[in-house]
Structure 1
Amino acid sequence: MEPLRALIGPDTGDATVAQLCARAAILFLFGVVCIRIAGRRTFSQITPLDIIVAIIVGSNISRAMTGKAPFFGGLAATLVVVVLHRLIAMATLHWSALAQLFKGAPVTLVQDGVVDRTAMRRHAIGQADLEEGLRMEQVESVGDVRLATLEAGGKISVIRRRDADT
């Protein structure tokens, strides 16, 4: 426990700039884990990576603005988070495994009119959620669906069966 305390510094507001940066990096990764655990439907319009950056940046700026954190240390810690976000976003363009870890992957909910109840349970999608997603795409019934997918951003996308149009 002593090495961690040396890394992150005291909780009395006397942490160094390096310790504040270490805290920011640790909290960034912890935040990503928390958002991933909460599930993609919790924040369905932006990626978990974007959410955690927005929360940390907003909090850091608020604390620096009110004097609850050292001004320059708070700015340095916020910069670390923003740079980490940018580096991870750039890295996900090159490594699909990293993209899947941070952004998630689409999940098939309906294939050729057949609902995958296991996938729905795993991602906390109820029947009403699925039906809402279908209605949002102007699809009346599951039988009219060739493919319905829970996208990484939390939206349910739907491709109609060709014979359902007639």
Structure 2
Amino acid sequence: MFFDGWYDVVRVFMVGILAYAALVFLLRISGKRTLSKMNAFDLIVTIALGSTLATVLLSKEVALIEGVAAFMMLIGLQYIITWASVRSHWVENLIKAEPSLLFYEGRFLTDALRQQRVTQEEVLFAVRSQGLPQIENVAAIVLETDGSLTVLQNQQGGELTSLKRKL
């Protein structure tokens, strides 16, 4: 059917406005970390929040208060897990991937590239994206826990101290 009546349209608008306001409020009080771009766990929570919002909007069987309760549960679990991850290395290691060194001191680390399923062309794209015309100007390239590539430039006499932790 293309149109069953105005009731459903008005319901989507009313529930949508209220569910959106509730979600924004809950995200605001839960802190910046809730939707940060950090790891796969955060992505899953973000997708689950979007899916829950869509279900509340489009399903007559799900009441607004049930959707708000689902938002609260997802955000609460996210808060608990992130709180625990900054206090426990075991939890942190469980939910976060380690950064991976893909290029170092003038050479591609082919085993790391293969393991992380990244091509040399993607790494070179990251170098170009940083405005560097030559890879010789690069000291290291790291695949970060959020999937982004960080390009570290060569520094005269400078040590790469940001690579010391866990790489």
Name the TM-score class by shorter chain: 0.5 to 0.7
| Pair 1:157 & 2:147 matched | no
| Greater mean alpha carbon deviation, residues 87-96 or residues 116-125 | 87-96
Alpha-carbon distance in 1 for matches of 2:57, 2:80: 27
Which position in structure 1 is the counterpart of 2:136? 143
Which position in structure 1 is the counterpart of 2:27? none
Per-residue Cα deviation, 1:16-65 (whole angstroms, up to 9, x for no partner)? xxxxxxxxxxxxxxxxxxxxxxxxxxxxx553223212221122122223
Q: Which runs of 5 or more residues in structure 2 are unaligned?
A: 1-36, 157-167
Which position in structure 2 is the counterpart of 1:59? 51
SS at match of 1:49: helix
Which position in structure 1 is the counterpart of 2:62? 70
Q: State the Cα RMSD in Å.
A: 2.3
Alpha-carbon distance in 2 for matches of 1:49, 1:68: 29
Q: Which runs of 5 or more residues in structure 1 are unaligned?
A: 1-44
1:66-145 matched pairs, under 5 angstroms: 66-71=58-63, 72-145=65-138
- Give how far 1:116 is off: 0.4
Identity %: 23
8 Å Cα contact 1:110-1:149 kept in structure 2: yes
**In the superposition, relative to structure 1, how do residues 101 and 137 fare at CA in structure 2: closer, same or farther (>3 Å)?**
farther
Q: Give the number of aligned pairs.
A: 120
* TM-score (normalizing by structure 1): 0.62
Per-residue Cα deviation, 1:123-146 (whole angstroms, up to 9, x for no partner)? 111111010111122333333322
8 Å Cα contact 1:63-1:69 kept in structure 2: no
SS at match of 1:94: coil
